Structure 1
Amino acid sequence: MSRVVVAASPLAGHTFPMIQIAGELVAAGHDVTFVGGERFADQVARAGATLRPLTGKAAYDDRRMAESFPERSTLSPGPEMLTWDVSHVFGDAIPDQHALIQELLDEDPDTVFVAELMFLGGLPSLHGAGIRPRRWIGVGISPLYYPSDDTTPFGPAPVGPGVDQVEANRAMNAGLAAALSGAAEYLQRVVDGLGATGFTMPNYFATMYTEPDDVLQLTVPEFEFPRSDLPENLVRFVGPLPPVAPAGWTEPAWWPELDSGRPVVVVTQGTLANDDLSELVEPTLAAFDGEDVLVVAALGRPAAALTGPVPSNAVIEEFVPFDRLLPHADVFVTNGGYGATQQAIAAGVPVVVAGQTEDKPAIAARVGLLGLGIDLHTQRPTPEEVAGAVQQILTTPSYRDRAVELSLAYEKVDGPQQIVDVVAEAFRK
């Protein structure tokens, strides 16, 4: 069997999609080693892969970030925290990641690596520091950030009368690059210090995509802002990973209510950013208390996490498989997870997004600017804001029409199979 190493930073949102990819590669007949956090050992084992846990500064626990990175808690969200995270959460992990990569390549140099784009430990070996893998395949688990004259990562820059759109986009992209220039310089020093030669990082956002041999983006082109200057063959849009339902799931007793004729609103904060359900789930429950609407709240955690009452027209579940639920939904209310948002659109369901952390503003921007729903531009909307956005979607057919239009693009892709095909191709090169 050919050996594949799948790698992820030890953050749950980075790890879970890569474990799913590892499982697909195991099913395709590869000998798969998973490089990641030790706390994910059970999930890795269920996928059929062998865990090689990260160590040292690469082995932090994302459930205790304040303990692992005390200085981080003093920073405000925004450019300052992003620069710090790139430098110290991801950059300081590079030496220990690189050491483990070299151990694995010493065992078998004919290894293909498949790593999410923020796992930066491959950079030294791609530039002469030790053994180079047969192929390094990057996986885009967040929206595309590659700079373009046509757009910024958050959509075309706002312009006033007489302002050239291209110049405005260039200026905003330059500002974003400048905001991360300190982090780029820091990463340059770390990689150079490990013996790499010829590595340069003039633009952090561009380098994420130009360094791997292949980049597989977990979306379709239609869920991206058009980029006429995206280099040919730089990125392969393979589509998202399908939802995975736990074995033995059965429809709950309330399931027939989905076909009662009432509008169905599904709300979730995903499986990661759900520590504080008062951010979005609880305002959504309050927004429709007593209304002729069925609200289905998928908490991603036990119902005891709710701090307020549950209205009589709402049902609460720790988990509901979205591939079964979303075809019944009229509106999907979310904090903007990349996978869940795309699952809704793939089902032809318009979206309300309230998310301001991590990559969520970029995801929300795509929903709003592409006409797929409404971006509330906040992390903590009021019940009135949620109700107003849902009502606007229910009374404006263009939102569902646009979601249905994009759902056709999702029908044409098979993300897991395309990933398996690219890895097989890597062993033929």
Structure 2
Amino acid sequence: MVSVIVAAPPVFGETVPLLELAASLVRRGHSVTALLGSRFAGSARAVGAHFVRLPDGADYDDRVLLGANPERLALPPGPEQYNWDLVNVFLNGMKGQHEALQRLLDEDPGAALLSNSLFCGAWPVMLGAPGRRPRKWVSVVAAAITAEDDATTVFGPIPGLTGEEAVTAHRAANAEFHAMLEPARRAAQDRLTEIGGTEPMPPFYTAVYHLPNTIAALTVPEFDFPRATPPSTLTYAGILPPHPGNESRKPDWWDELDAGRPVVVVTQGTTANGDLGQLVEPTLLALADKDVLVIATLCQDLSALGIVPPGNARVADYIPFDELLPRADLLITNGGAGGTQTALAAGVPVVMCGTTEEKPMNAARVAYHRVGIDLETATPSREQIVDAVTTILGDPSYREAVGRVRASYAAHDPIATVEALLS
């Protein structure tokens, strides 16, 4: 048995994978303390962890911060919004995270730390600030891998280049990516200096991938870009299994999934779903006269839908993906890593429609491996949706490519991998 501190910033998408890992570690007999936002207190206790709330200043509601926040919405998708997110959602909580983590390590100096990759409370002691280091620090990357490499950029290898020409171009592109995040790096440096850090803050994602002892990336090599020199810390762990479905929650139209028509699922995920007119509604309208069954999962109340669903559409607030996706032929998504990879692990091609956070990086992987189509927009037209759906359903090569990736997901055991990394 090992003693583990599980920590994440109070963001739903960052916290849920850590709670799933915490539950598995508890079931395997380990002692788990969950350092999380107050929103997740009940969930942490339900999995058998000892809950410790992040202190004021590091505890917030991401639905407010990332939802209809006028300051954030005033920024265009891209570098400005990305830096705003890193600073306001993650870096501003560094001091509180650090202080809470130090208190827990004072109580249990032999504890290991299992954190989300954007939990920066362990950065200060790694960069010269006084305090205890965890016995071992395993950082979980739940989003696209953004480690630099001579063989690729964060958006994939540059087409048409080989040899030293490719290396030079990739290094330049990676340096440009670091420069794009310079505002976040400077903000991190300011917070580190305030806490007592004496070493310079490296480029933001250099810190993410090189400060922890080990990175457990929730993906597989077959869904990453080829790498010449991956970080020595990097381990591909595979993806966590989806939450098991609840038989009593299946809607009365469930049997229609097996009626023979192609099943197209559309979702905007759990966070970026404030405006269903971006993707869900256009998809329902675009496919209204097609011989497909469209399933829209809103991840919110059905009243949020601003149109009357067409006759070939079924709408639900939530449907367990572990039950739905194996019966689907295609997923249309705004491109979060979790939903995208869950679909691929179920053998389902994807249409990607995302432009914020790491979603373009996920979409670039989909296009590179030909496991779907990247529409390169968060607000696709009806024509774009119809063309993408028609192309994928009519071309078996997409299913064949997904099959190769699916086999890799099946071969990985993320729980056993993380448990071994913590030992």
TM-score by length of 1: 0.93
1:179 counterpart residue number: 180
1:203 counterpart residue number: 203
SS in 1 for 2:57: helix
- The answer (yes or no) to whether the contact 2:392–2:398 under 8 Å persists in 1 is yes
Percent identical among aligned pairs is: 44
Rounded Cα–Cα distance in structure 2 between residues aligned with 1:34 and 1:123: 18
Rounded Cα–Cα distance in structure 2 between residues aligned with 1:218 and 1:347: 16
1:24 counterpart residue number: 24
> Against the structure 1 CA distance between its residues 315 and 63, is the aligned structure 2 distance closer, same or farther, given a 3 Å change threshold?
same
Cα drift, residue 323 of structure 1: 1.9
1:263 counterpart residue number: 262
Alignment partner of 1:134 is 2:135: yes
Cα drift, residue 168 of structure 1: 1.9
SS in 1 for 2:355: coil
> Against the structure 1 CA distance between its residues 146 and 72, is the aligned structure 2 distance closer, same or farther, given a 3 Å change threshold?
same
The AA in structure 2 aligned to 1:50 is H
Cα drift, residue 125 of structure 1: 2.3
1:377 counterpart residue number: 376
Rounded Cα–Cα distance in structure 2 between residues aligned with 1:151 and 1:204: 18
2:274 counterpart residue number: 275
- The answer (yes or no) to whether the contact 2:65–2:89 under 8 Å persists in 1 is no
2:390 counterpart residue number: 391
The AA in structure 2 aligned to 1:301 is Q
SS in 1 for 2:252: coil
Rounded Cα–Cα distance in structure 2 between residues aligned with 1:400 and 1:371: 9
SS in 1 for 2:278: coil
2:329 counterpart residue number: 330
1:347 counterpart residue number: 346
The AA in structure 1 aligned to 2:153 is T
The AA in structure 2 aligned to 1:337 is G
1:365 counterpart residue number: 364
The AA in structure 2 aligned to 1:406 is V
Alignment partner of 1:228 is 2:228: yes
SS in 1 for 2:123: coil
> Against the structure 1 CA distance between its residues 246 and 67, is the aligned structure 2 distance closer, same or farther, given a 3 Å change threshold?
closer
The AA in structure 2 aligned to 1:57 is G
> Against the structure 1 CA distance between its residues 73 and 333, is the aligned structure 2 distance closer, same or farther, given a 3 Å change threshold?
closer
Cα drift, residue 92 of structure 1: 2.2
The AA in structure 2 aligned to 1:245 is P
> Against the structure 1 CA distance between its residues 69 and 343, is the aligned structure 2 distance closer, same or farther, given a 3 Å change threshold?
closer
Rounded Cα–Cα distance in structure 1 between residues aligned with 2:255 and 2:246: 22
Rounded Cα–Cα distance in structure 1 between residues aligned with 2:92 and 2:252: 50
Rounded Cα–Cα distance in structure 2 between residues aligned with 1:160 and 1:242: 38
The AA in structure 2 aligned to 1:211 is L
SS in 1 for 2:215: strand
Rounded Cα–Cα distance in structure 2 between residues aligned with 1:191 and 1:290: 57
2:89 counterpart residue number: 89
- The answer (yes or no) to whether the contact 1:38–1:53 under 8 Å persists in 2 is yes
Cα drift, residue 70 of structure 1: 7.0
- The answer (yes or no) to whether the contact 1:97–1:121 under 8 Å persists in 2 is yes
- The answer (yes or no) to whether the contact 1:60–1:68 under 8 Å persists in 2 is no
> Against the structure 1 CA distance between its residues 308 and 347, is the aligned structure 2 distance closer, same or farther, given a 3 Å change threshold?
same
SS in 1 for 2:331: strand
The AA in structure 2 aligned to 1:273 is A
The AA in structure 2 aligned to 1:172 is A
2:251 counterpart residue number: 252
1:167-217 C-alpha deviation (Å, 9 max, x unpaired): 2222111111112223223312322332234x3333222221100011100
Cα drift, residue 419 of structure 1: 1.6
1:320-343 C-alpha deviation (Å, 9 max, x unpaired): 222222222111111111111111
> Against the structure 1 CA distance between its residues 372 and 11, is the aligned structure 2 distance closer, same or farther, given a 3 Å change threshold?
same
1:170 counterpart residue number: 171
Rounded Cα–Cα distance in structure 2 between residues aligned with 1:29 and 1:416: 13
- The answer (yes or no) to whether the contact 2:371–2:398 under 8 Å persists in 1 is yes
1:6 counterpart residue number: 6
2:214 counterpart residue number: 214
> Against the structure 1 CA distance between its residues 250 and 70, is the aligned structure 2 distance closer, same or farther, given a 3 Å change threshold?
closer
In the alignment, structure 2 segments of 5+ residues that lack a partner are none
Rounded Cα–Cα distance in structure 2 between residues aligned with 1:162 and 1:216: 30
2:145 counterpart residue number: 144
Rounded Cα–Cα distance in structure 1 between residues aligned with 2:82 and 2:333: 23
1:75-113 C-alpha deviation (Å, 9 max, x unpaired): 333212322333343222111111101111111111111
The AA in structure 1 aligned to 2:364 is A
What is the number of equivalent residue pairs in this alignment?
422
**What is the correspondence of 1:67-146 to structure 2 with a 5 Å cutoff?**
71-126=71-126, 127-146=128-147
The AA in structure 1 aligned to 2:357 is E
1:154 counterpart residue number: 155
TM-score by length of 2: 0.94
